[in-house]
Amino acid sequence: MFAPGTRLLLKLSGEILGKVSSENEGVGIVPETLESICLQIKELSQYQWTIVVGGGNFFRGGSASWCHRSTADRIGMLATGMNGLALHEMFEYLGVPSRLLSCGVCSGIGTVYDPRIARSALNAKEVVICVGGTGIGHITTDTTSVLRACEIDCPVILKGSSVDGVYDADPRCVQGAKFLPYVTYDQAIQHGWRIMDFTAFTLSREFQKKILVFSILKPKALSKLLDGTLRCTLVSQ
């Protein structure tokens, strides 16, 4: 599906790193899930990889009604830093060169994010891990992933989740929900499908960044996605 050397951005929700399977959730980071994802990327070293990771396995700022949203988002940024450190460490353990770039999470977590550093690291065959979102509140890591794709010239965003694509209703709640293999940006925005947030879709539409929604918890999900044999949804114009 993609030529060797293509830059691919994997948007990885924090919740995924805390899952044992699509039915079960772990606490914090499940090492087996972390290792599985990193091994898949190691086996696909012919591509240039960027990971934008969320922090929902530790803290979900959007659902914290007890504190100001800006404070909640900063707590979430710290959570992404923990996930980024774990990914960075696992890649090192597996012998995969990686670069941890941070938007002001806290001192000692990675190098300050700069798109030029990211592009240079990708050219050097390093996996780039981005944490801290954009460094400011009220902007999700979904929107951050599209922004990073624009900055480092990634043509496609791989949205790894626990669901194998987009449905016309929540398949976990609605029996007989219809799977949708193709969705336009406008349809996603109009129907309010919670694949990514409104701003992320708007930015994707403006800069023509395709999105592939798939379950990263499937065995060999990334390799099957890239050779076209994994069930997924394409979001595009």
Q: What is the pLDDT of residues 151-176, one digit of tens each?
A: 999 999 999 998 899 998 888 888 88
Top pLDDT among 60 and 223 is at 223
DSSP string, 2-54: --TT-EEEEEE-HHHHTBSSSS-B-SS--HHHHHHHHHHHHHTTTSEEEEEE-
Cα angle 153-87-38, degrees, rounded to a multiple of 5: 80
Mean pLDDT of 124-146: 94
Residue 11 lies in a domain: yes
The answer to whether residue 2 sits within a structural domain is no
| Predicted local confidence at residue 133, as pLDDT | 92
Q: Would residue 1 count as lying in a domain?
A: no
pTM of the predicted model as reported, rounded to 2 decimal places? 0.94
Residue 212 belongs to domain with CATH number: 3.40.1160.10
Please count the structural domains in the chain: 1
In a domain, 52, yes or no: yes
pLDDT band at 49 (very low <50, low <70, confident <90, very high): very high
17 occurs within a structural domain: yes
pLDDT tops 80 at residue 24 = no
Owning domain of residue 225: 7-236
Rounded mean pLDDT of 203-227?
A: 96
Please report whether residue 188 resides in a domain. Answer: yes
For the chain, report the end-to-end CA distance as a whole number of angstroms: 18
Asked if residue 79 is part of any domain, the answer here is: yes
Inside any domain, residue 202 = yes
**pLDDT at site 25:** 66
